[in-house]
Every structure is written in C-alpha cells, then in structure tokens.
Chains A and B, each alone.
Chain A
Amino acid sequence: MTDNHHSASAHITPYLTLATVLVVLLALTFVTIEITSFDLKAWNVTLALLVACVKGYLVLSYFMHLKYENLLIKILVGMVIVLFALIIIITYIDYLFR
C-alpha cells in the first residue's frame, strides 16, 4: 500500500540539467529579439510566439518537472492549452470575418 508521501526514489532533477535549460532559454531569448528586429510581416508574431512556446515547453518540462510527472497531469496541461487555443480561435472567427 503506497503511502503517498514522496519516496526516496522520486525523481530529482540534476543541477546540470537545470543549468543547461537556462542556457538554452537565454539563447532563445536572444533569438527572439533578433528575429523581431527584421520586418517579416505576419511571420514576426508567428515566429516570436513559436519561440515563446518552445521556451514555455522547456520551463514546463524541466523546471516544472512535467516531463517526469504522471500521465494525468500531462494530459490535463495539454487539455488546458487546447481549451485556451480554441477560445482564441473561435473569438477570432468573429473578428476576422466581420
């Protein structure tokens, strides 16, 4: 019968992993600043958001430990993101087609 406390075998994220993720995040921050300094029309916001999503994914997976959590929480996070996206998309269907 599990005790539901954290056992000693609970995953501990190594310092090196966390530091590496930080370096990647900082690099991506500079990438974002660079790509938004040219005028690429509609691509600017798309690319900037895409990079932000990658950064977000890294924060979720490694800093927030989502990569090592049970499947339930991963599914729920996905569900919430989908819900939020749908709300924006459906609202856009009003504004873009007026």
Chain B
Amino acid sequence: MRAEVQEFYRGTYLENTGRYRGIWAWLTSTDHKRIGLMYLYAIAAFFIVGVIIGLLMRIELISPGKTIVEPQTYNGFFTVHGIIMIFMVVIPGLSATFGNFCLPIMIGARDVAFPRLNLFSFYLFLFGSFLAILSQFLRHGPPDTGWSFYAPYSTTTGTNVIMATTAAFILGFSSILTGLNFIVTVHRMRAPGMTFFRMPLFPWALYATAWIQLLATPVVGITLLMIIAERLFNIGFFNPELGGDPVLYQHLFWIYSHPAVYIMILPAMGVITEIIPTFCQRKVYGYKAIALSSVAIAAVGYLVWGHHMYTSGMSGKSLWLFSFLTFVVAVPSAIKVFNWLATMYKGSIDMKPPFLFALFFIFLFTIGGLTGLVLGALATNIQVHDTSFVVAHFHYIIFGGMGFAAFAAVHYWFPKMYGRMYNIKQATIASIIMFIGFNLLYFPQFIIGIEGMPRRYYDYFPEFQPAQIISTIGGFVLTAGLILMFYNLIRSARKGEKAPANPWNGTTLEWQIPSPPPLENFEEIPHIEEKPYSFK
C-alpha cells in the first residue's frame, strides 16, 4: 500500500497487522468487518452479472419471437438470473454484508460469537457460487428449469441440474451457519446493560432473519438432495409414474422459499428503521411494535408457503388456510410502514441519499406489498398466477424493497466503513435516475400481466409489445443510474473526502466509534444505560 493510504488506515481494521499482506490478509481474516466487506464485493460482482443477464432478457423481450437468442438460451437466462439474484445476492444480501459489519458493533461486541465459522461461511458462499457459475459451462448446458427447479422437469431435463442444485445446497449451508452465528452473537455478546429491548432495530431484524436462515434452509437442502436422488437413482418421490407427486416437491420447495423472502426483506426493513430516525432526528415511533413485528413476520412467514401453489391442485381447505394466513402476515409489515411514517412526522428531515433511498423503498415496497394482496387472494390469483404480474410484484418487493434498502445501507454506512464520504449530489442524482428507471421497467409488467402476458415466456402476442418496449427502456435507464452510483462509491472509497466518526448524527453505537473503526471496535466495551434512538 502507498504510504499515505497506510497512514490513513493506521489504527483501523483496514491496516494489515497480521502475518499476511495484500489479498491474503483479507481472505484469511476472521474480522467481521473484513468478512462483511468481502461479502459486499462478491455480492456486488454477482449482482452486476445478474443485471447483465437481466438486460439480455429485456433485449430479447423487446420484440416478439426471436430477437437475439434462441428459446433454449432464454430459458437458461431466466434460470441463471434467478439463481444468481436469489441465492448469491439477495439471500446472503444484507445479513452477510451489513449484518456482519454492523451487528457486533451495534450491540457493543468485538466480533461475532464464532469468527472462524464466519469466515468458513464466506468460503462456502464462494465455493457454492463457483459451482453455480460452473453449471453454466459444463457439458450438458446451463439449467433451464427456472431457479425453482420444479419437478418433474428438473428431474428429467438433460441440463446441468445436479451441479446447480449442489451449488444451491452449499450456498444454503453458508446461510445456515451465518444465521447460527448471529443468533448466538445476539444472545451471548450484547454489551452489559443492553437488554433485548435496548437493542437497536437492525440487530432485532437480523436476529429474526437468523432464525429463518437456521430453520427454513435445511428443508430446501433436503429437497435439493431429493432432486439429485431422482436424477441419479430414480427414487420416485416426485415421479407420478412411480407413485410420486410433483406437488409435494412444490410444498417442500416453498416451505423454504417463502420464509426465504423474509430473509431478504427483514434486514432491509431493519436498515430503513435505522435510517429514518437518524435523518429525522427523532426516536422511532413504536420501537416495540417494530421489534416484535419482525419476529411475527418470521414466525407467521413459515406457514404461508402454499400461496405460491394455488393453481397446483391443492385441496380447498388448503387454499383457504394459506390465503387467510397470507393476509395475516401482511399486517406486521403494514405496521412497520405506519411506524416509519409516524417517525417522520414533525421530524427534522435531512434529505441525504440514505434517506432518499429509504423514501423510495417505502414507496416501492408498498406497491409490491399491495400487489402481494392481489396475489394472496384466491380469486385474483387465478388470473395473474405465472404472469408478468408476479414478476413485477416480486421485483418491486425484492429489488424495489431490499435492493433500494441495500443502496440506502451502503450510502448510510459508507463513511463508517471507509472513513470517507461520497459525492452527495451524484448519489442523489443516481438514486432518482434509478427510481424512474425502476418504475418504467416494472410497472408496465403489472398491466400486461393482468392482460395475460405469461412469465418465463420467450415469445408473446404483439399487443404486449408497447409495454415490453417501455420496460426495456426502463431497464437501461435503471442501469445508467446504477453505473453512476457504482462509479461514485468506488471512486469515493479511495479518494473521497475524509468523513467524521458521526456524519449523520446517529445515536447507535457504530457512530460512537471512529471511522473507520479500530480492529476490535471498542477501546472499552460500553455500558448501556438507556434505550436506543435517544436524540437530544
């Protein structure tokens, strides 16, 4: 490292004090802050790949029939786009990145409970991701099943399903171990005086998420093994010719994959709950409601999986039960939205990029959530199941929700992580461009979805084309915003103006230590006397 950079990093976690130099100092580090950053860089890289695949899909869809690729290739595209975005980006997502970086600091600890296990989780993440990428290039061709690997197609298609499902299994294991680590960390390593109800809300969200990671992921693990067993040994669980039921696969798959969406969104909501009080300089409205609603979402979220399967032939009682529970689980989310807005009321609002992203989050997440009710209701679901309406819905929630929350998180904690500030104006402009591009990209898909445009379809009726064109343009506008944002952040990480320890006047513990933090976070572990978000 150059002398001036070395000087800047002295005394912080970015200084290399161990036996290793360069990249090895990072790859062998058990420091939660470095692990969090390594996850961030890997996930950002995978995100870019996923965006590129998404853009290729949008180019293909700009006109009916073949535009740039053959149908089989298109099937491979939407499969790998899903695998990358779901398993390699949004599920590790905010937990592995900002969870790792911030959780110990925010609860007054020096690291997580099991630092070496943490690094092992990261290695599993890299290895699983490598296998997922490998599945694209091996002999039998990239998987074409969709990221959901539905039987019986996944058990009979000739493509590299075994490699991809193995990759997902390993990635799942990484997720499980991170969840385990965070649960023990929260239970055992809070600073003296920090009771559960004095813990800030991002740790609460991470805690609820960790439980989902721990308990739901094994179910998809065993399910993926069953797919492999079908392909290798013809075991018959999902094969009607041998007595099996493909719908049972769907049950098993969604028993994980529905809670998985809460893995994606709960930390995101936690981030928003941190940002809003800081930029309104007001304590959170309804702290306990937000804390407990995270847990409620996690708990009820285990029981709603069948709403992905209304058209599969389930029993009437089942349909009724799942729809009812789906409406129940919407309530705690709505509570959060109400509490965020109430926190802003009469607050001293500072429209910095983190807060702007948070506002965009609330808008986009609300649209996603409301359209979720259209999907959750039995009658309307029949019309929109497996159409672009679903695609728009989940992109509003996952990308508009968790994605924008991730951008908010980067812009919030950037000065803490790097000790530097980014260009506020560029960040603001980038966020607005992304917001506009996002809505152009996905809103038309609601409309044509209701009109009958199927999802995962390569070809379509000409009347859907105008909307598809707008959508594709939106994709490129969004990408322009992303490029500006990435440029700003990457440049500022090295050359940005020095940032103070607490640029936003936040009250949580990470803002009470230097930027960048020292290796062991705290000189002395603080003793917690009061509730969080006490703004003077």
Contact = CB atoms under 8 A, between A and B. Distances in A.
Contact between A and B in the complex (any CB pair below 8 Å) = yes
Given A83-B302, A86-B303, A93 B187 contact: no
A38 interface: no
A94 B302 contact: no
B417 to A, nearest CB: 31
A94 B303 contact: no
A96 B316 CA distance: 11
B355 to A, nearest CB: 37
Interface string B307-331: 0000001111110010000000000
A83 B251 contact: no
B80 interface: no
B318 A94 contact: yes
Contact of A87 (B255, B316, B318): B255
A80 interface: yes
Interface residues of B, number: 17
Chain A contact residues: over half helix, strand or loop, or mixed? helix
Interface residues of A, number: 14
A98 B302 contact: no
A68 B479 CA distance: 57
A95 B309 CA distance: 14
Interface in A7-58: none
A72 B187 contact: yes
B315 A93 contact: yes
A95 B75 CA distance: 32
B303 A90 contact: yes
B321 A90 contact: yes
Contacts of B302: 83, 86-87
Contact of B315 (A72, A80, A86, A95): A95
A4 B215 CA distance: 27
B317 A93 contact: yes
Contact of A93 (B188, B247, B321): B321
B516 interface: no
Interface in A67-98: 72, 80, 83, 86-87, 90-91, 93-98
* Interface-centre pick from A86, A90, A91, A98 (highest chain B CB count, 10 A): A90
A97 B215 contact: no
Nearest to B314: A94
Nearest to B318: A94
A90 B99 CA distance: 33
Interface of A: 4, 72, 80, 83, 86-87, 90-91, 93-98
Interface of B: 187-188, 215, 219, 247, 251, 255, 302-303, 306, 313-318, 321
11 contacts: A4-B188, A80-B215, A83-B302, A87-B255, A94-B247, A94-B317, A95-B315, A96-B315, A97-B316, A97-B317, A98-B314
